Amino acid sequence: MNSFWAVFKRELKSYFTTPLAYVFLVIFLFFSAYLTFKQGFFEVRQADMRAFFLNLPLLFVFMVPSTAMRLWAEERKTGSIELLLTLPITITQAVLGKFFAAWLFLTIALALTFPMVITVCYLGDPDIGLIVTGYLGSFLMAGGFLAIGCFFSAISKNQVISFVLSVVVCAMLVFAGMPTTLNFVSTFLPAGFVSAIENMSFQTHFESIQKGVLEFKDISYFVLLIVGWVAACTIVLNERKAS
């Protein structure tokens, strides 16, 4: 447990000792608010955060892989992985330590969007329950994207490659649930396949959580996704750490 905390602490600190955290936070906060107001936040004349949560998956497709890409690619490139993994730390502890540190960092970024909450509360009387489930869904979605990014970061020493690969996979998982995609595939695939594709998508599960419905299938989707990709990351890293 000690080793896990050591990795966790070091990783979280490293975000803030480099400009990375600040650049990320400024850009994320700017675009999350910009997209919300641009998409007719005032015109709708409803005090809720739908417009904010609607854009989050698209923003996450780019922002989360950019935090995740360095996790292992950088360690392997600079060789510091040799220092890390010759300390009494197991690979699982190291992977989890880094993953949770990055997840906490993204949670901090999400928490810093609190002025949006204040804004809607000032403008009207929003459903707090919806806002809470919206944030819960975003938190889980960030974890899912991060797990994918973490895996691709372990695959390549090159951060750009791991970034591009994880953006592609995350985008596929988001777009698979968009109505346009589903309409298109339903023209030539049987209904069972279409609903399978729909259920594999982030979008579907995120939307249903965000609507305030906390269902077992949505939560378990994210949990399975995270566990699966993080476990795959551990296996890949074990094979490739020294190469």
Partner 1 sequence: MIEVRELRRSFGPVLAVDGISFSVEAGQVLGLLGPNGAGKTTAMRMLACFVRPDSGTATVCGYDILKNPVEVRRSLGYLAENSPAYGEMTVGGLLNFVCDARSINGKQRKSILDRIVPMCSIDSVYHQTIETLSKGYKRRVGLAQALIHDPDVLILDEPTDGLDPNQKYEVRKLISNMAKDKCIVVSTHILEEVEAICSRTIIISRGRVLVDSTPAKLKEQYNCSLDEVFRKITTAKS
Q: Is 10 in the site for partner 1 (CB under 8 A)?
A: yes
Tell me how far apart the alpha carbons of residues 219 and 169 are, in angstroms, rounded to a whole number.
20
- HSE-CB at 128 with a 13 A cutoff on CA atoms is 3
Between 29 and 89, CB nearer to partner 1: 89
Min. distance of Cβ 231 from partner 1 in angstroms? 19
CA angle 12, 15, 18 (to 5 degrees): 145
Between 81 and 148, CB nearer to partner 1: 81
Q: Are 189 and 210 in contact, with CB atoms under 8 Å apart?
A: no
Min. distance of Cβ 198 from partner 1 in angstroms? 42
Tell me how far apart the alpha carbons of residues 92 and 98 are, in angstroms, rounded to a whole number.
10
Phi, psi of 169 (to 5 degrees): -65, -45
Tell me how far apart the alpha carbons of residues 238 and 231 are, in angstroms, rounded to a whole number.
11
Between 14 and 46, CB nearer to partner 1: 14
Give the per-residue contact string, 65-94, with partner 1 (x = CB under 8 A; - = no): -------------xxxxxx-xxxxxx----
Min. distance of Cβ 155 from partner 1 in angstroms? 18
Binding-site ranges for partner 1 (CB under 8 A): 2-3, 5-7, 9-10, 13-14, 17-18, 78-83, 85-90, 241-243
